[in-house]
Amino acid sequence: MTKENPTLEDVARLAGVSQMTASRALNGRAGVSRETRDEVLRIASDIGYVVNRTAQKLSGGRNGIIGIITPTLDTQFSSELILGAGRAARAAGCEVLVYTMSDEERRTHHDVLGLVRQFSDGVLAILPRESLWLDLLAKANLPVVVIDQRGTMNRLPSVSVDNYGGAQLAVEHLIELGHTRIAFLGGGESIEGVRDRQRGYLDTLSRHGLPHTREWIVPGDLSQMTAFEVASGLLELPEPPTAIFTANDQSAFGAIAAAREAGLRVPDDISVIGFDDIPMAEQFHPALTTVRQPFQQMASSAVNTLLAQVAGHGAGAQRVTFAAELVVRNSTGAAPVARRRSGASRQGRKR
């Protein structure tokens, strides 16, 4: 199959029109009669014409490509978002190209930005954690939307989940199950979104008049391994918690492993609830109760915001926040009777 790719010129010639007319027809622009347009489209499709996006871009216009920049491909957080963005973009007639580079690689980010702007109309930055990109992006003078777990510090348009509200959901779920001794396994101070989760935890406890000793708030780093160790310590406390809310799902997995190691059953002896709802949460055993980030919605909102910006309908540095959703599965249950509460009877509540 050595057939060269057909070009606009081929389409135009075959349709007996000028390239301009063919171009207009293909792009659905005005200025083409109904029947000319149909004819052009038919021919283009017949000969398998695919517009050359690089030429399109070079010639000064847009090319319908969204660049995604992300330093971390290995977290489900990014994967989900990229897949979602791809779907949303394609639904809008665009394509998505991903550029990824681990943070430790010492490549000048400046160059990367230059590269990205060459082949795309704008960029979606997926930044699970603080990143050097932010500043560069801010002064890069090209359409950009950030998907992150951060707060409002940057002036870039961004979408994120309501971390505070999600934490509240998680803690209230535990409280309804009768838990009063609820621990928080954190994810470090550096990520604002994670701090929000902790604030949500604290405030919800207070609101319900529940104690929150310093002992029950332990620091993790979002990794399963660290969570295992830290949770183990938690369980050796003279007054151990009956439920643990972890900063993310990975940490929840670690906490569950720790519980088991300590001879505890989940959820009978101790409940664990995570945050994110990565695909593995459902597969895990026991299936993890968690707070879901609506990845698909976030991605699609980000894409649309970006596309609007590209089209010039930029609405400034708006920040969109999506509600989190509680997903009840099997890692949480009624508080053990040893120190029960009135709510212990109403346990059968499924999603």
| Site for DNA, rule CB under 7 A | 4-5, 7-9, 16-21, 23-24, 26-27, 30-33, 36-37, 49, 51-52, 55-56, 58-62
- Assess 331 for contact with its own copies (CB under 8 A): no
d(CA 74, CA 82): 12
How is residue 303 written in tokens? 């894409």
d(CA 183, CA 273): 10
Size, binding site for its own copies by CB under 8 A:
58
| Alpha-helix runs per DSSP H in the chain | 8-15, 19-26, 34-46, 53-58, 76-91, 109-119, 133-138, 163-176, 192-207, 224-235, 249-261, 279-283, 295-310
Residue 98 C-beta: closest distance to DNA, Å = 23
Binding its own copies (rule: CB under 8 A), the pick from 74, 135, 239, 268 is 74
- Assess 50 for contact with its own copies (CB under 8 A): yes
Which position has the token pair 């940490």? 251
- Assess 60 for contact with its own copies (CB under 8 A): no
- Assess 79 for contact with its own copies (CB under 8 A): yes
Question: Using CB under 8 A, which of the segments 10-18, 94-102, 151-159, 166-174 binds its own copies?
Answer: 94-102
**Residue 338 DSSP label:** G
How is residue 76 written in tokens? 């489900």
Residues 178 to 237: which contact its own copies by CB under 8 A?
Answer: 223-225, 228
Binding its own copies (rule: CB under 8 A), the pick from 13, 36, 99, 172 is 99
Binding its own copies (rule: CB under 8 A), the pick from 279, 311, 323, 345 is 279
Minimum CB distance to its own copies smaller for 208 or for 265: 265
d(CA 310, CA 65): 11
- Assess 133 for contact with its own copies (CB under 8 A): no
Residue 346 C-beta: closest distance to its own copies, Å = 16
d(CA 323, CA 164): 10
> Residue 60 binds which entry of DNA, its own copies, none, with Cβ cut-offs from 5 to 8 Å by kind?
DNA
> Residue 9 binds which entry of DNA, its own copies, none, with Cβ cut-offs from 5 to 8 Å by kind?
DNA
- Assess 42 for contact with its own copies (CB under 8 A): no
Taking the CA atoms of residue 268, residue 274, residue 278 and residue 283 in that order, the dihedral angle to the nearest 10 degrees is -10
- Angle at 99 (CA atoms; ends 248, 196), nearest 5 degrees: 25
- Angle at 8 (CA atoms; ends 7, 12), nearest 5 degrees: 125
CA-CA distances (angstroms) from residue 48 to 14, 22, 42, 265? 13, 14, 10, 60
Binding site for its own copies (CB under 8 A): 1-2, 5, 48, 50, 52-55, 57-58, 73-74, 76, 78-80, 82-83, 86-87, 90, 95-102, 105, 107, 110-111, 114-115, 117-119, 139-141, 223-225, 228, 250, 254, 257-258, 260-261, 279-280, 282-285
